[in-house]
Structures are given as C-alpha cells and as structure tokens.
Structure 1
Amino acid sequence: MIKVTLLRGLAGKPEDHIKAVKSLGLKKVGQSRMLPDSPVVWGNIKKASYLIRVERVEGGQA
C-alpha cells in the first residue's frame, strides 16, 4: 500500500496535473489516501509528483 498526501494547492496548475491528483482521490491540501501499489497509481503520482508526498506503508489498513 502507498500513502499519498496532497502538499500544494491545485490553483493555476496544468489541467492534466489536476486530473492526475483528483484521480488519486485527493481534493484538499493535507488530505491523505491509502492506495494500492499499482502501475496506474504510480503513473498519476509521476505526473504530479511535485504536488504530493508518497510513503510506502506495510499492511493494508485504510
């Protein structure tokens, strides 16, 4: 599992970066989500990596 946290606001950012962050389920600064470690998730993380923080988490508690 991966814990993804939104660190910066989305105002003024490119539309494809905003869509990548929203597809990760993040809407507000400081919000975190637990997501599966999959290629789709990593593609969205790489697209908007400067807006988010990623941590690997052992186990699967959501």
Structure 2
Amino acid sequence: MAKLRIELIKSIIGRKPNHIATLKSLGLKKINDVAEHTATPEIKGKLAQVSYLIKVEEVQ
C-alpha cells in the first residue's frame, strides 16, 4: 500500500473536539507536525474528516 505524508498546516484551536481527537490519533499536535501512515480505509476516512486542516502527499 502507498505511504502518505500528512502535515498539519492550520491550528487546532477552536476546532470541534472530535476533529482534535482525530488529529491527535494521527499523531499531529502542533502546526507543521508531520506523520507518515499507510493508506488504509481507516486513515483515509480520518483524513477526509479533517482535510481542511492538513496537507497530504504520497511518498514513494
């Protein structure tokens, strides 16, 4: 499966509690934090929920 590089580009201050929990479950706490995950359906669902806060790139 493909690896995804996920970067938090906007602050989590003032966001919905479930969106904050989703970001923390992805390993993102501060702006410019980066995490790498494999592209599973569970991860893709989490990314869709908080897509307005993150930048996603596919890593080779």
- Is the structural similarity TM-score above 0.5? yes
* TM alignment of 1:1-62, pairs within 5 A: 1-58=3-60
RMSD in angstroms over aligned alpha carbons?
0.6
* Alpha-carbon distance in structure 2 between the residues aligned to 1:14 and 1:30: 20
* Alpha-carbon distance in structure 2 between the residues aligned to 1:5 and 1:42: 14
Q: State TM-score, norm by structure 2.
A: 0.92
Flag structure 2 segments of 5+ consecutive residues without an equivalent.
Answer: none
Flag structure 1 segments of 5+ consecutive residues without an equivalent.
Answer: none
Greater percentage in strand = 2
How many residues are aligned here? 58
* Alpha-carbon distance in structure 1 between the residues aligned to 2:24 and 2:58: 20
Percent identity of equivalent pairs: 34
One-letter code aligned to 1:9:
S
Q: CA deviation at 1:20?
A: 1.0
Q: State TM-score, norm by structure 1.
A: 0.89
